[in-house]
Amino acid sequence: MENPKLNINKTKYRYFMDNVKPEGTAIIYTIPVPRGEEKPTDEFFDRDYPDVKISYKKFIKMIDKTAKGLLAYGIKKGDIVTVCHTNTPEIFYMDYALSKIGAIPNYIYPNITADEMKYFIDELDSKFVFVLDEPDIKRNMKKALEGTDIKIISSSVIESFPPLFKKIAAKKKPVERVEIPNEIKWVDFIKNGNAIKEVKENLYTPNDTCSFVHSSGTSSVPKAIEISNENDNSIPFNTFKDNIIFSSQKKCIQTIPQFVEYGKTSTHIVLCSNVCIVVIPEMEPKNFYDLVFQYKAEYAFTTPSHIRELIKRKIDLSKTEHFVIGGDGFDDVEEMATHFFYDNGSNVPPFQGYGASEFSAFDILNRKGEYKVGSLGKLCGDSEYVIIEPNTFNAIIEPNTVGELCLTGSGVTKGYAGNSKEETDKVFVKHPDGKIYVHMGDYISVDEDGFFYYHGRIKNVITRKSFTFSPQEIVDAVMKHDNVKSCMVVPRYSKEEGETPSAHIVLNDYSDTEKTLNEIKQLVNENVQEFHRPTHYKIRQAIPLTKNNKNNITALKIEDTANMFDGVVSADIEAHNTSEYEFYLKVKIKSDKSNDEIIADLEKHINKIACIIKFNVGKIKYEIEKV
């Protein structure tokens, strides 16, 4: 009899139901609660972690109840439901329930602006919204939905906790209530579903759309990616095919939100394996140590930021089997993290992986027994690859030779939704062998043993006096210095040369930055030809990240551009990604103008340069200090 994990040709709901066993715990859901007055430090949060446990029997029952609520609310096959929510049990019920009836979730980030919410809802003609019942998020959603008849379902972060907990929480910290027209609360939504006697399961149709997610890549420009049932099912299929086993009733800490494809597919993997997932609505990396300490999980899906917090203090990691790390920045801590895991009782290191939402999240992975420090890992399952010379179909056969990575297989998604055919055609390309490949936009090499290595983004190239080159050789030279933690090199506008390299460098030790910088420059001069060397260097505390935890190239370009403005002494940027703005730009400037005038002039300057060297600015909050 065929193993159900090896048949992806079914709806996501049916794939889950064919693989799951209605036994044991499905979810441990926990919320951090301050013990007293909360005073976060670099070391820890002073918190308790009360939790609720949801069995697989209840999980399956709640999927059915949620499906009935959707039908009672008028949602039917083919309807798009915008999901603006964080990781709570309700978002997982909603995901499988929508699949069960054939409706389609459109996942968006909760911490975006009202204008962005409106754009994402209108983009896919969504008529329903499932939103987190939190004041700031509801306020933005209310503004986004003004003048529409869109229906709202809302649930809070404590929806799954018992009534007594909710009463105590309400007394300790009263929450502002923001009401939206056409809104129905989760309790009433589930209650209304009792009128539906039976849910007719959506039948599988090949290549039907299962969900939409949004990818920000290395910039702030989001694109809606259309994902099929087969795409989501391909991830548990590929891991199982490669004998990457997640054992029933072992624990997995899930720090990646469901609105990110990496989070959605990795959750699908472990739920289809009867693993108990530990979830938390707050993605703060400083919670990670406490979660690992308290729940002693065998598995985790997480980011470099979480690992950095974990390795600050000693902890028992003897049960660790598979901690998967996705996102930029793991190279900076890989060696330290590997030693930390072994020193604290683990038989395996943390495993780096690689992928993109366009290819159903991840497709290259290190795993137990097949691991090399510094590599991204090996290809998973039925995925195939070719390394090509950029902008050609010329395949690079020789090992350890850098080119653009292109991937094909069951993970290839349907492309970008909406009015994005031009972007789809650039990324999803039919090759001479007749297969559609995702052009990943990354410089990659593969060694003789099939391990992949990352060499930088193709889009992050420097065009200097009409000559284009990758900044990776600069990064490699800078990283030779023992005191360098990480480095990012981006194009900086030059009136005379078009673009020049600008190096942004994070150190381990800042006690003598001038000496370190001089030594870095010497290394660059010794290893990089003169025409490719940076014209600007900046020592900084951290590289700003996108919402998807990737190095934010746009942020660094904005900062560099602001530093070029007349009178600016210094400009420093943070990528906050709040509901009101994406970037927080602090500017010290010599000027007699008012702050409003300075901001207006700065905006014109940044937008002008952005048009020339082609980057999208996004929304910026300015802090002006006159010197």
Sheet holding 351-354, edge to edge: 51-55, 25-30, 276-279, 251-254, 299-302, 322-325, 351-354, 364-365, 378-379
* Max avg pLDDT among 196-210, 361-375, 410-424: 196-210
In the predicted structure, residue 165 carries a pLDDT above the cut 80: yes
In the predicted structure, residue 621 carries a pLDDT above the cut 70: yes
Question: At 333, is the pLDDT very low, low, confident or very high (cuts 50, 70, 90)?
Answer: confident
In the predicted structure, residue 18 carries a pLDDT above the cut 60: yes
Residue 419, pLDDT score: 61
Instruction: Report pLDDT digits (tens) over 369-382.
Output: 888 988 999 999 99
Q: How many CB atoms lie within 10 A of CB 105?
A: 27
Question: At 423, is the pLDDT very low, low, confident or very high (cuts 50, 70, 90)?
Answer: confident
For the chain, give the percent of residues with pLDDT over 90.
68
Q: What is the pTM of this model?
A: 0.82
Q: Which of 358-362, 545-549, 617-621 has the lowest mean pLDDT?
A: 545-549
Question: At 218, is the pLDDT very low, low, confident or very high (cuts 50, 70, 90)?
Answer: very low
DSSP letter string over 254-287? E-S-TTSHHHHHHHHHHHTTT-EEEE-S---GGG
The rounded mean pLDDT for the chain is 90
Residue 578, pLDDT score: 63
In the predicted structure, residue 73 carries a pLDDT above the cut 80: yes
Alpha carbons 574 and 524: distance in angstroms, whole number: 27
Residue 79, pLDDT score: 98
SS3 assignment for 493-556 = EECCCEEEEEEEEEECCCCCHHHHHHHHHHHHHHHCCHHHCCCEEEEECCCCECCCCCECHHHH
Which letter, b or e, does each residue of 147-171 get, where b requires 16 or more Cβ atoms within 10 Å of its Cβ? Answer: eeebbbbbbbbbbbbeeeeeeebee
Instruction: Report pLDDT digits (tens) over 236-258.
Output: 999 999 989 999 999 999 999 99
Pick the more confident residue, 498 or 460. Answer: 498
Instruction: Report pLDDT digits (tens) over 569-620.
Output: 999 999 876 657 889 999 999 999 999 999 999 999 999 998 888 787 878 9
Residue 214, pLDDT score: 87
CA 465 to chain centre: 35
In the predicted structure, residue 175 carries a pLDDT above the cut 80: no
Residue 547, pLDDT score: 67
Kindly give, in sequence order, each residue whose CB lies less than 8 Å from that of residue 308, ignoring residues fewer than 6 positions away.
285, 333
In the predicted structure, residue 535 carries a pLDDT above the cut 80: yes
Query: In the predicted model, what is the mean pLDDT of residues 502-531?
Result: 94
Q: Which of 110-119, 198-207, 373-382 has the lowest mean pLDDT?
A: 110-119
Residue 531, pLDDT score: 84
Query: In the predicted model, what is the mean pLDDT of residues 101-110?
Result: 95
Residue 350, pLDDT score: 94
Q: How many CB atoms lie within 10 A of CB 36?
A: 7
Query: In the predicted model, what is the mean pLDDT of residues 145-162?
Result: 95
Residue 72, pLDDT score: 97
Query: In the predicted model, what is the mean pLDDT of residues 65-78?
Result: 97
Q: Which of 159-173, 190-204, 346-360, 601-615 has the lowest mean pLDDT?
A: 159-173
- In angstroms, what is the C-alpha Rg of the chain? 25
Question: At 343, is the pLDDT very low, low, confident or very high (cuts 50, 70, 90)?
Answer: very high
Alpha carbons 616 and 621: distance in angstroms, whole number: 15
Q: Where do the H-state alpha helices sit in 312-391? A: 334-343
Query: In the predicted model, what is the mean pLDDT of residues 435-451?
Result: 93
In the predicted structure, residue 226 carries a pLDDT above the cut 90: yes
